[in-house]
Structure 1
Amino acid sequence: MNQLIGLQKFTKIVADSGDVYQIKKYKPLDATTNPSLILKTMSLPEYKKLIENAVSYGKKKSYLKKEQLIHASDKILVNIGKEILNYIPGKVSTEVDARLSFDKFASIKKAKKIINMYEEDGIHRSKILIKLAATWECIQAAKELLKENINCNLTLLFSFAQAIACAEANVFLISPFVGRIYDWYFEKNLIHVYNVNNDPGVLSVKKIYQYYKKYNYNTIIMGASFRNVDQILALAGCDYLTISPDLLNKLSNTVGFVERKLFPLEKPISKPKSVLHESEFRWLHNQDKMAVEKLSDGIRQFSVDQEKIEEILNPLF
C-alpha cells in the first residue's frame, strides 16, 4: 500500500493546485486555489478558452476598462474553479482579492459576487469555499457570510489567536500554514537540530487540533503549505490536509505503513465562556512575531500575484 492510500484512511486529502491534469491524476476530495496557483495555471494551453471567456464577461459587464479588468479577474477565478469541480466530488476554494484583507465589508461584497458568479453558471454555493486571509476583519466577514450559507476557508493562519477567533466565529475551515511557519524559524536560525516532531509548523497544527477537539469546535482544520512528506505524515489524522502535486506524487510512489498521529478526544468538554474580542485578538496575535510577519508577507505576496493576473488580462481589452 502506498502512503497516500494509507493517509486517506485517517485524513481527507485536498489538492493544493489549480492544474486540472494533476487533480484528475490524484483524485482528491477537494481542491484549493489562490492567486499564485491561478497565475501558474493561466499559462496552460487548455485554459486559454477560460481566459477568453473571462475577458468577454468583463466587456459585457462594463464599458470602463478598469471595471472590465476587475470583472474579468473575478471571472477567471470562477472559470478555473468550475473546471476543477468537474473532476472532484467535494468543494473548491476560491480566494477573495488579498488587497481587501483589512476591509470586512468589501470582503463580504466580493465573496457574494464570486458566489453569485458561480450560481449564475449553475454551481451551488455548497460546492464553494470562499478563501479569506485570517485577519480580524476577514474572520468577522466569514461570520457574517455564514448567515447566508456561504462557507469560508480562512487561510494564511499562523497564530493560535487566529485559530481561536476562527473557531469562535464558527468558520467552516481553517488552513494553518505548516511550511511557512517552518521557513520562518529556519531562516532565523532557530532550528538547530531538526526533528519533524519538533517542527514548529507541525507543532502549531497539533496545538490547534488538540484545542478544537477538546472544546468540540466544528471548524475543520486543514494543514497546508508543506515542505516535505515527513511534515504531512506527522499530521496523519488531521481533519484535512491540502497537498501540492509534487508531494502527492511522492506519497503515491512510496510504499509504507502510515501511522495515525492525531486523535480526537472521546469526551470533549464545554466550550470556554469567554470570547476573544478584537483588542484581545490583536494583542495575542501581535505577541507572535512569526505570525505577524508571515501574515503580512502572505497578504503582500498574494496581492502581487493578483496584480500579475490583471497584467496578463489587461492587454486583452
Structure 2
Amino acid sequence: MNQAGDHALNDNGRAPSCEVEGALAAPVSTDGIRGKLTQNAPLAKLVWFKAGGAADWLFEPADKADLIEFLDRLGGNLPVMALGLGSNLIVRDGGVPGVVVRLGKPFSRVEDHGDHVLVCGGGASGILVSSTARDAGIAGLEFLRGIPGTVGGFVRMNGGAYGREVADALIDCDVIMPDGQCHTLPAADLAYTYRHSSLPEGAVVISARLQGSAGDPAEIGAEMDRIAEARENSQPLRSKTGGSTFKNPEGKKAWQLVDDAGCRGLTMGGAQVSEKHTNFMINTGDATSADIEGLGEEVRRRVYAQSRVELEWEIQRVGRP
C-alpha cells in the first residue's frame, strides 16, 4: 500500500530535477526534488469559485517519496495546505501563505484490494472512487458520487451526502505531516463529528482505505445515477460555486433557514445566493473572494436575526484577507 511511484528518468539516466518557477529562491533546496514548485501561483483557476489570490508557493509532487523529501526539507518552517479540486473552498484575495500542495495523477489511483476494500489515493475524485466500487461490486460508497472533491478532502472534512459520510466507511488513512513524517491513522483517531475531524492542520492525506460490502453492480450503478440526477435537479452545478455553504444545524436544514431569512437571490458585488438552492453561493462572473465571503457573513447575520440560529460555515476559507 502507498508505494512510491517509479521515478522517470531523463536522457542521462537520472531522475529529472525539480522545475522551479519564480523570481526568488525556493524555500528549500530542490536538488533531487522531482515535482514542480511555483512561486506566487494563481489559485483562482484551481478552485470552483474561480476567485481568490495566489499561493506563495505551489508544490506538485511527483509521487509519495518526492512529497516526503520536500516536506522533510521544509521541516515545518512554513505553513502547508493541501489542495484537491478546490470545490469547497474560498481562497481569500490576499493569497495563501507558505506552501500549497496539490496532489496530481500519481495520487489519484483507486485499487480493489479484496474483501470489499478500496485503497484510494488522496487525489482521487469521488466519481472515480464510486465508479471503481461499482465495477468491483462494492456497495456502500455510492454516496461519494454526490460529493465534488477528492479523497483527501473527504477524509479531512468527513465528507458526506445522501445519508452516509466518510466516517461510515474509512478504515485508516496515510498522511504526511508538514515536517515530512508519514503516519497511518485509523479512523478512530480522527475523532469524527459532522463535517469535522481532528486531523492536524497541514497534514496531507495521500491515501485512504475504504470498507464497503458485497453488492450488485447494476444496483450500485442505479443508485449512483439516482444521486447524480438528484444533484443535477437541485444544485447549481453549471455555475461557479463552492458546494454547500453552511452546515446543517441540529434538526434543521441550512437552506430552509437561509430561504426563510429572505436571502434567496441576495447579491454582494459579483456573488449571489443561488436561486436554485439557497445553501449555495455562486460567482456570477466577476466576484472577488471578499464578495463571496462577505455575502456568506451577511446571510449568517440575517438568519440569526430571523431565527436566532447561528449558521456555521461548511466551506473552508483560507488565506489572507
Same fold by TM-score, threshold 0.5 exceeded? no
Larger fraction in helix: 1
Provide the TM-score with structure 1 as the length reference: 0.26
| Greater relative contact order structure (CA < 8 Å, 6+ sep) | 1
Computing the radius of gyration over CA atoms, which structure comes out larger, 1 or 2?
2
Larger fraction in strand: 2
